[in-house]
């Protein structure tokens, strides 16, 4: 992947790999809308705005329009007007129609006012995290006869899109492959998928963010999962727990400050109109022939941003990238004109992706926390197609996804699993403790 033909200083952007914006007005996210966008992308569908049925044309731009279409079709097929009031009360008054099948979550997009550019950026970030996964033939959920009728009306709106979402190469390829496998597993259980798609996206959005933050400075090599320690929401915290202090919440927050400079530099070196690659991959493809271009870019950037640090010409690729990273960080220093934009990016990252998993424990400080619902979701996905796993094997699966527990948390974990009734002890030995999935 060569450098962009013309390396010139321009506005900072990390949009190809991250959803946060430098403008606070563009950092309002609605997870319900994100679910709708994600489902559309996952199933590669578009929703028609007009449908023709038996010679009549119906506009379907809102959920209300869809309800009217259902009424027209179902009154003809079923027992007239009286049955419609039951259907309306059960499925439309509380929007339960969206939960008939996973694909019908895309109906959220009919109400355009619930979505915005920020939701699309967050969806793109999640889609990049899961790679080029598309479910063209989803499994059929167990539906009653009314739900089958409504689903059939919904099928009139579906236009299988020929377009493919333009995704960039995953920044964390090994994690993306594992996430893709987990999503495929979850899709195979439609009812469970419907119940858990939003927490699933929140959890995996955070895990990807945390690992991206922990790896982004290591641009000279391919990323790997770094230790990131959690506690359960039911256990006590303590400053004496070294792993939590060194490799927990504080580490993620501090590392998140490196996201914008590194991702903005990476984007500035490539043509964002085509698929771009992670900085660590780009650096591996640069040669000595690129050093002059990088040095010239550094000099132009230094002048454009009116930076005051000493700038020396680089003699090799590693020096050139190191120098540019320092410049990209310096432009956001306290007191600079870009400090506010940087703070907006950091705030949006924390509020949207990190905060759902952080918890203050008073004098003990703040920690990354998993509640019982998230833990059970992660447990089922980690066990996957298997019926059960030995406890230590399950902990390895957690670690592969970026979730680490210290010994104290592991003991609490066993107690919690036993209370939930999904533990099987083959003997009193800890190695013979199995954890079963609950789906």
* pLDDT tens per residue across span 215-224: 999 999 999 9
Taking the C-alpha atoms of residue 234 and residue 242, their distance in angstroms, rounded to an integer, is: 19
Per-residue pLDDT reduced to its tens digit, 62-97: 999 999 999 988 888 877 667 898 899 999 999 999
Residues paired with residue 370 on neighbouring β-strands, in sequence order: 232
Quickly state the pLDDT bin for 309 (edges 50, 70, 90). very high
Tell me the three state secondary structure of residue 61: coil
Find out whether 223 and 211 touch, Cβ atoms under 8 Å.
yes
Establish if 54 belongs to a structural domain: yes
Find out whether 105 and 98 touch, Cβ atoms under 8 Å.
yes
DSSP assigned state of 102: G
Cα distances from 385 to residues 193, 382, 396, 435, in angstroms, run 15, 9, 16, 13
Establish if 53 belongs to a structural domain: yes
Taking the C-alpha atoms of residue 169 and residue 146, their distance in angstroms, rounded to an integer, is: 43
Q: Are residues 36 and 152 in the same domain?
A: yes
Domain end point (choices 323, 347, 371): 347
Find out whether 134 and 42 touch, Cβ atoms under 8 Å.
yes
Establish if 254 belongs to a structural domain: no
Establish if 145 belongs to a structural domain: yes
Quickly state the pLDDT bin for 35 (edges 50, 70, 90). very high
Radius of gyration of the chain from its Cα atoms, rounded to whole angstroms: 25
pLDDT of residue 429: 53
Q: How many residues does the chain have?
A: 439
Establish if 289 belongs to a structural domain: yes
pTM of the model: 0.93
Q: Are residues 34 and 159 in the same domain?
A: yes
Q: Are residues 154 and 265 in the same domain?
A: no
Q: Are residues 157 and 268 in the same domain?
A: no
Q: Comparing C-alpha atoms, which of 202, 186, 214, 195 is closest to residue 371?
A: 202
pLDDT of residue 78: 78
pLDDT at 306 over 80: yes
Domain end point (choices 296, 331, 347): 347
Cα distances from 355 to residues 239, 352, 435, in angstroms, run 20, 7, 29
Q: State the total domains in the chain.
A: 2
Taking the C-alpha atoms of residue 203 and residue 210, their distance in angstroms, rounded to an integer, is: 11
pLDDT of residue 430: 53
Establish if 212 belongs to a structural domain: no
Residue 410: count of CB within 10 angstroms of its CB: 14
pLDDT at 344 over 80: yes
Q: Comparing C-alpha atoms, which of 262, 126, 252 is closest to residue 183?
A: 126
Establish if 316 belongs to a structural domain: yes
Q: Are residues 139 and 270 in the same domain?
A: no
Q: Are residues 136 and 30 in the same domain?
A: yes
Average pLDDT over residues 128-157: 86
Cα distances from 107 to residues 11, 112, 184, 188, 320, in angstroms, run 36, 10, 22, 21, 49
Q: What is the mean pLDDT of the chain?
A: 91
Per-residue pLDDT reduced to its tens digit, 348-399: 999 999 999 999 998 889 999 999 999 999 999 999 999 999 999 999 999 9
pLDDT of residue 26: 87
Taking the C-alpha atoms of residue 282 and residue 296, their distance in angstroms, rounded to an integer, is: 18
> What's the domain range around 56?
24-167
Establish if 380 belongs to a structural domain: no
Residue 389 makes CB contacts below 8 A (sequence gap 6+) with 382, 383, 397, 434, 435
Q: Are residues 32 and 160 in the same domain?
A: yes
Q: Are residues 158 and 41 in the same domain?
A: yes
pLDDT of residue 431: 62
Q: Are residues 149 and 269 in the same domain?
A: no
Domain end point (choices 141, 167, 193): 167
Tell me the three state secondary structure of residue 319: helix
């Amino acid at each position: 992947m060569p450098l962009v033909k013309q390396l010139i200083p321009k506005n900072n952007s990390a949009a190809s790999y991250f959803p946060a914006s430098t403008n606070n007005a563009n950092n309002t996210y609605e997870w319900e809308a994100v679910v709708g966008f994600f489902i559309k992308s996952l199933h590669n569908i578009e929703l028609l705005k007009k449908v023709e049925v038996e010679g009549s044309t119906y506009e379907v731009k809102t959920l209300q329009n869809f309800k009217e279409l259902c009424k027209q079709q179902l009154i003809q097929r079923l027992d007239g007007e009286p049955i419609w009031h039951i259907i309306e009360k059960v499925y439309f008054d509380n929007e339960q129609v969206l939960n008939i099948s996973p694909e019908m979550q895309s109906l959220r997009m009919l109400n355009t006012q619930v979505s915005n550019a920020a939701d699309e950026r967050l969806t793109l970030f999640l889609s990049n995290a899961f790679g080029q996964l598309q479910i063209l033939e989803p499994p059929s959920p167990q539906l009653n006869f009314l739900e089958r009728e409504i689903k059939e009306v919904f099928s009139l709106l579906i236009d299988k899109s020929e377009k493919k979402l333009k995704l960039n190469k995953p920044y964390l390829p090994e994690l993306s492959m594992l996430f893709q496998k987990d999503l495929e597993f979850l899709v195979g259980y439609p009812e469970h998928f419907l119940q858990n798609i939003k927490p699933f996206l929140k959890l995996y959005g955070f895990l990807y963010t945390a690992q991206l933050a922990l790896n982004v400075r290591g641009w000279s090599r391919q990323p790997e999962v770094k230790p990131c320690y959690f506690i359960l929401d039911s256990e006590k915290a303590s400053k004496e727990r070294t792993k939590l202090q060194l490799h927990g919440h504080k580490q993620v927050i501090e590392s998140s400050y490196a996201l914008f400079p590194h991702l903005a530099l990476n984007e500035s070196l490539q043509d964002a109109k085509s698929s771009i690659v992670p900085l660590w991959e780009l650096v591996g493809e640069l040669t000595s022939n690129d050093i002059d271009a990088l040095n010239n870019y550094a000099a132009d950037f230094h002048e454009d941003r009116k930076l005051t640090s000493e700038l020396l010409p680089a003699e090799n690729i590693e020096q050139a990238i190191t120098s540019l990273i320092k410049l990209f960080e310096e432009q956001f220093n306290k007191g600079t004109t870009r400090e506010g934009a940087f703070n907006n990016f950091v705030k949006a990252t924390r509020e949207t992706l990190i905060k759902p998993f952080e918890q203050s424990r008073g004098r003990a400080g703040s920690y990354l926390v998993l509640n019982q619902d998230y833990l059970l979701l992660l447990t089922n996905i980690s066990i996957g197609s298997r019926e059960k796993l030995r406890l230590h094997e399950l902990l390895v699966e957690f670690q592969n996804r970026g979730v680490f527990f210290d010994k104290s948390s592991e003991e609490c974990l066993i107690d919690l699993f036993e209370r939930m009734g999904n533990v099987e002890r083959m003997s009193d030995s800890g190695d013979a403790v199995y954890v079963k999935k609950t789906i």
